[in-house]
Structure 1
Amino acid sequence: MRKSSGFVQVRELLFTAVPVVALLAVAFWLAWKLVPAPPPNTLVIGAATPGSPYHEAAKRYAEFFQGSGVKLVVRETRGSLDNLSLLKDERSGVDAAFLQGGLAGADDAQVLQSVGRIFFEPVWIFERAEATPISRLADLKGKRVIVGPSGSGTEAVALRLLASSGVTRDNATLVNAELPTYPETLEANGADAGFLVLAPEARTVKRLFDSPHARLVSLAQADAYAQRFPFLSRIELKQGVVDFARNVPGVDSQVLSTTAAVVTRKDLHPALVNLLTQAVIHVHAQPRVGPSGENALLHRAGVFPLAEDQEFSLSPDAQRVYKSGPPFLQRYMPFYWAVVVDRFVVFLVPALGILVPTLRFAPTLYTWRVRRRIIYWYKELKKVEAGITPSPTDVARAAGEVERIEEAVNRIPVPLAFANQLYDLRQHIDVVRRRLNVLKATPEDA
């Protein structure tokens, strides 16, 4: 019993659809594997103690992150060296941190990357105002020098500079002390001088400038140090720039300075690096002015953030933000939705690249499956026709083959759309049969 053309059509469609659907499933799975993982919804930044310039900057970053779908968690730390240690520890949970210049080693640059330098952190050197002024670090031999808290970034830079100037624990008294105690220590004659690496707006720096017992040291060799140490630069503080009314400092002063960096682990999700860089630009590119409209000390609009770094490679994702601004989608929609759409596009492009040709191939496959049955019997018919001779034996054999072919063709299930091809085959079978009938009617010796 022959199956209806509708049933045959459905069956052929299913036989065609199954491999196509399987191929598409594999293709979509492969395309999905190309889609980057979504960014985490939190980012932890190491930011020193509350009230410090690092901590204040981190709080402003957190405000920028609001509404992005990502929460910036500000973690209190002991400072730059602690931040560096946390960044290198994969189990610490810290993704980014503020780092003082001059602390990183070659190995650190292998696992960390910068998203920019954000402000000057001068290497302030204050001495007792009652003492004879010094102008070179070598003048600190034989003196009592505060080098910052033990294990701090200030200590690391101070010891490095002092050692390069021939000042060591063998020929000077190097004292560890917490930064907030500097003004009282100098006032009480507990030390002759002290190093501290802090942004100019730090409370301790302001207190030292306000103290009548502390005086800023101007380094005559500042340019030489900056030439030898790539992480340092020379800054000139003009007379009175700190306090016009009290004329602080009393003379033009040469000061060395590091620059603070925002650093991340290299395995931080690119979208989070992108968002953090936007926050850095938003916060530090803004002009900072005092109550009378004056620039904040050591701050000029357009200088920071710096898209360069002497100690770490600048993140490629950060470079793109500095060069071209936020990604296209993030200019018109919130960060979270921009990431969702971007991931969808990354999935869609290769998926469409596979889907379109596959769907174009499906009708061809369907047609081939139907026509191959008809073509098979065309080939069989052609072989029979090619073997026909006037011999009665051959004619009888060929006639039997034709009957067999016709019987098989009558059982071929063909969708209605291809019925014309089946009828053509039947007509051609009749042509061969008529030829055989002519040969049967013709005597062999005619």
Structure 2
Amino acid sequence: MLMIVLAGVAIMLLALLLTNAAAPTSLTIISGPPGSVFQKTALRYQKILAREGVTVKILPSGGSLDNLHKLSNPRLDVDVGFVLGGEAGSADTSRLMSLGSISYQPLMVFYRGTPKTLLSDFKGMRLAIGEEGSGTHNLALALLKLNGITPGADTTLLNALPGDAVKSLLEQQVDALFVMGDSSSTDLLRQLLHTPDIHLFSFIQADGYARRVSYLNKLELPRGALDLGKDIPPETTNLIGPTVELVAREGLHPALSDLLLEAAREVHGKPGLFKKAGEFPVLAEHEIRISEDAQRYYASGKSFFYRTFPFWLAGLVARALAVMLPLVLLLIPALKVAPAIYRWRIQSGINRWYRVLFDIEREAVAQRTVPGKQEELLHRLQHVDATVSKIVVPAAFGDLLYELRGHIDFVRSRLQADADAQGHKD
């Protein structure tokens, strides 16, 4: 039994050294262009995860669609990224999973000239719809198409960089600019909002857009919400926009999933312009399936070990249990069987001497009349007795040894009786 325990402990230690069940201590986030909302969010995540000893590497990108493509590419070293609802389309997302929605991402349309009521009013104008690969670009194309505005028609659609597009709008080189936080600097948006002769388009049909396009939400920007002193915006403005999903590759460690959602709760759980306190993160499935670990987190919070211990210690405990528990489950029945196996081994060593006794008895019966045979068998039996007396067994198995020696004496007495009878006859 001791050998079984020692072997089990040795296997556990070896497996513990060779396996990597502990949570990784590094993570790569694909964010967005420098200065974008996505990049600033990634930086906040980076600081929060650093408190738990996890190093976060942030990679820039062209925006939401670019993030989705890079997450889907197994040759790129990326773990998680920000993706707008509605971006998946025909992309292969079978190896991706969503950790839930973390915020709203409003679409803002800035323009010059007379006030516009409908998006179709921009027909025939010069529109900067964002760089190709950004969430802004794709959403703008979809909304313009719903209003009968398509590429190649009389409306000029420009795929300009955010900074260049803002400059173009300020210098009247374009008539309207579509922007979203995934691909635009918040400083640029603030600059546009504070420019007197530039208007922010209000989607009076916001409810209709939200009904027609499943991944869109109606958002309301209250009057004066951006600057009460300057009354910006000067009236309540209706906007539309998708939610932002935190998307990870399949196989993300559960502990990292929990940490990311803890960070999302800390960053996005507070009230804001378009959200109530505690509204995000939220378990809302769109095109990308929800992670099972995320479902467990939303239902019961962080796993027990990561809720109870520091991250590094919880990882060590989880790793040890992942290795030891299966081996313990194997050792329990082995330890139950071990006593029976050991007793069988002891009995086997003793029972082989019974075969010798049987042989001696059979010879004694078969050759009872042969002169000197009984003396020869007594001599053999004496040798057996001397050998058996040297056998060492645990006290618990002493009964087996004493029974054998009693049987040896029994056979000896019979042989001696036969030998004496033979001597009388002679």
**TM-score (normalizing by structure 1):** 0.81
Alignment match, 1:226: 210
Residues 123 and 197 in structure 1, CA contact (< 8 A), matched pair in contact too? yes
* Structure 1 residues 77 and 94, CA gap change in structure 2 (3 angstroms): same
Q: How does 1:315-326 map to 2 (within 5 A)?
A: 315-326=291-302
Residues 395 and 439 in structure 1, CA contact (< 8 A), matched pair in contact too? no
| Distance apart, 1:61 and its partner CA | 1.1
Please give the secondary structure, in 2, of the residue aligned with 1:306: coil
Alignment match, 2:76: 92
| Distance apart, 1:181 and its partner CA | 4.4
* Structure 1 residues 234 and 89, CA gap change in structure 2 (3 angstroms): same
1:111 aligns with 2:95: yes
Alignment match, 1:64: 48
| Distance apart, 1:64 and its partner CA | 1.1
| Deviation larger for 110-119 or 400-409 | 400-409
Q: Report the AA paired with residue 410 of structure 1.
A: A
Alignment match, 2:192: 208
Q: How does 1:173-252 map to 2 (within 5 A)?
A: 173-198=156-181, 202-252=186-236
Alignment match, 1:75: 59
Distance, in Å, in 2 between the alignment partners of 1:411 and 1:28 is 42
| Distance apart, 1:121 and its partner CA | 0.9
Q: How does 1:45-56 map to 2 (within 5 A)?
A: 45-56=29-40
Corresponding residue pairs, total: 419
1:414 aligns with 2:391: yes
Distance, in Å, in 2 between the alignment partners of 1:392 and 1:112 is 89
* Structure 1 residues 381 and 60, CA gap change in structure 2 (3 angstroms): same
Residues 102 and 246 in structure 2, CA contact (< 8 A), matched pair in contact too? yes
* Structure 1 residues 308 and 400, CA gap change in structure 2 (3 angstroms): farther
Alignment match, 1:151: 133
| Distance apart, 1:35 and its partner CA | 5.7
Q: Report the AA paired with residue 39 of structure 1.
A: A
| Distance apart, 1:257 and its partner CA | 0.9
1:163 aligns with 2:145: yes
| Distance apart, 1:316 and its partner CA | 1.6
Distance, in Å, in 2 between the alignment partners of 1:423 and 1:176 is 98
Residues 30 and 61 in structure 2, CA contact (< 8 A), matched pair in contact too? yes
Distance, in Å, in 1 between the alignment partners of 2:252 and 2:343 is 52
| Distance apart, 1:265 and its partner CA | 1.2
Please give the secondary structure, in 2, of the residue aligned with 1:109: coil
Residues 384 and 398 in structure 1, CA contact (< 8 A), matched pair in contact too? no
Residues 388 and 394 in structure 1, CA contact (< 8 A), matched pair in contact too? no
Distance, in Å, in 2 between the alignment partners of 1:37 and 1:435 is 69
| Distance apart, 1:320 and its partner CA | 2.0
Alignment match, 2:410: 431
Please give the secondary structure, in 2, of the residue aligned with 1:427: helix
Q: How does 1:247-286 map to 2 (within 5 A)?
A: 247-285=231-269
Distance, in Å, in 2 between the alignment partners of 1:191 and 1:25 is 73
| Deviation larger for 41-50 or 183-192 | 183-192
| Distance apart, 1:299 and its partner CA | 3.2
* Structure 1 residues 429 and 402, CA gap change in structure 2 (3 angstroms): farther
Alignment match, 2:282: 306
* Structure 1 residues 223 and 402, CA gap change in structure 2 (3 angstroms): farther
* Structure 1 residues 256 and 88, CA gap change in structure 2 (3 angstroms): same
| Deviation larger for 218-227 or 25-34 | 25-34
Distance, in Å, in 1 between the alignment partners of 2:232 and 2:406 is 112
| Distance apart, 1:138 and its partner CA | 2.4
Distance, in Å, in 2 between the alignment partners of 1:34 and 1:164 is 57
Distance, in Å, in 2 between the alignment partners of 1:237 and 1:247 is 12
| Distance apart, 1:339 and its partner CA | 0.6
Residues 399 and 433 in structure 1, CA contact (< 8 A), matched pair in contact too? no
| Distance apart, 1:21 and its partner CA | 7.5
* Structure 1 residues 157 and 337, CA gap change in structure 2 (3 angstroms): same
Structure 2: give runs of 5+ residues left out of the alignment.
none
Distance, in Å, in 2 between the alignment partners of 1:44 and 1:394 is 94
| Deviation larger for 370-379 or 59-68 | 370-379
Please give the secondary structure, in 2, of the residue aligned with 1:116: strand
Deviations 1:115-160 (A, max 9, x none): 22222111112221x32x3332223222222211233221111112
Alignment match, 1:335: 311
| Distance apart, 1:31 and its partner CA | 6.5
| Deviation larger for 339-348 or 401-410 | 401-410
| Distance apart, 1:247 and its partner CA | 3.9
| Distance apart, 1:319 and its partner CA | 2.2
Please give the secondary structure, in 2, of the residue aligned with 1:373: helix
| Distance apart, 1:71 and its partner CA | 0.5
Please give the secondary structure, in 1, of the residue aligned with 2:245: strand
Please give the secondary structure, in 1, of the residue aligned with 2:106: strand
Please give the secondary structure, in 2, of the residue aligned with 1:343: helix
Distance, in Å, in 2 between the alignment partners of 1:253 and 1:423 is 100
| Deviation larger for 112-121 or 395-404 | 395-404
Q: Report the AA paired with residue 195 of structure 1.
A: F
Deviations 1:206-245 (A, max 9, x none): 2222222222222233222222322211123344444444
| Distance apart, 1:72 and its partner CA | 0.8
Distance, in Å, in 1 between the alignment partners of 2:353 and 2:326 is 41
| Distance apart, 1:402 and its partner CA | 5.8
Alignment match, 2:327: 351
